[in-house]
């Protein structure tokens, strides 16, 4: 009874968390339900467009804070050639390591295949030897009980 109560309490907490998440996005869900006929989508689009032009402070779009980040055109992409060479060297080292690991894995796989072939051959030889022994035992048994040998060709 106690475990059922704990299970129900956990389920209730889970349901409450789900409802909180649903209520958090309820406004957006209602705007999307209205579809293209509603004014909500146009309003959010206008707010987003206006906030992209205004770079003074953070703005709120659809009830959410939108940070006015720096434009990609303003980002300094000039890196020193040494930094680029260091990054290229790191990538080359990683590729070398990857190729070495790939080669080692292929070698290990080939070794494993060879060992499996050898084991199969050994077991097959053992099976043939056992069959021959069984045939010999049957032959001896048949000979002892019947005192006759029939050669079958």
User: Mean of the pLDDT values across residues 28-33?
Assistant: 80
Q: What are phi and psi of 79, to 5 degrees?
A: -110, 150
Which is more confident, 93 or 139? 93
The pLDDT value given to residue 106: 92
Domain boundaries, the chain: 2-72, 85-153
What's the whole-model pTM score?
Answer: 0.34
Answer yes or no: is pLDDT of 153 > 50: no
Return mean pLDDT, the chain.
Answer: 77
The burial of 94, by beta-carbon neighbours within 10 Å (0-12 exposed, 13-18 middle, 19 or more buried), is given as exposed
pLDDT band at residue 148 using 50, 70 and 90 as cut-offs: low
Q: What is the pLDDT of residue 139?
A: 76
Separation between Cα atoms, residue 144 and residue 131, nearest integer Å: 20
- Residue 74 is predicted with a pLDDT of 64
pLDDT bin (cut points 50, 70, 90) of residue 54 is low
Pairwise CA distance, residues 87 & 101, whole Å: 21
Between 92 and 68, residue with greater pLDDT: 92
Structure tokens at 90: 């790191």
Predicted pLDDT of residue 58: 53
What whole-number distance in Å separates Cα of residue 16 and Cα of residue 24? 12
Alpha carbon distance 48, 12 (integer Å): 38
Give the tens place of pLDDT for each residue, 83-117: 778 888 998 998 999 999 999 999 999 999 888 88
Q: Does position 126 have pLDDT exceeding 60, yes or no?
A: yes
Tokens of 14: 């889970």
> 116-120 contacts: CB < 8 A, separation 24 or more?
none
């Amino acid at each position: 009874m106690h475990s059922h109560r704990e299970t129900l309490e956990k389920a209730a907490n889970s349901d409450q968390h789900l409802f909180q998440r649903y209520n958090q996005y309820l406004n957006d869900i209602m705007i999307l339900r209205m579809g293209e006929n509603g004014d909500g989508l146009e309003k959010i689009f206008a707010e987003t467009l206006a906030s992209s032009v205004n770079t003074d402070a953070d703005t709120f779009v659809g009830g959410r804070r939108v940070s006015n980040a720096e434009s990609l055109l303003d980002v300094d992409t000039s890196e020193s050639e040494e930094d680029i060479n260091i990054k290229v060297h790191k990538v080359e080292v990683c590729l070398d390591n990857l190729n070495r690991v790939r080669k080692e894995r292929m070698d290990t796989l080939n070794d494993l295949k060879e060992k499996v072939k050898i084991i199969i051959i050994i077991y097959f030889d053992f099976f043939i030897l056992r069959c021959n022994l069984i045939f010999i035992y049957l032959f001896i048994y048949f000979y002892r009980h019947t005192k006759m040998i029939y050669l079958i060709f």
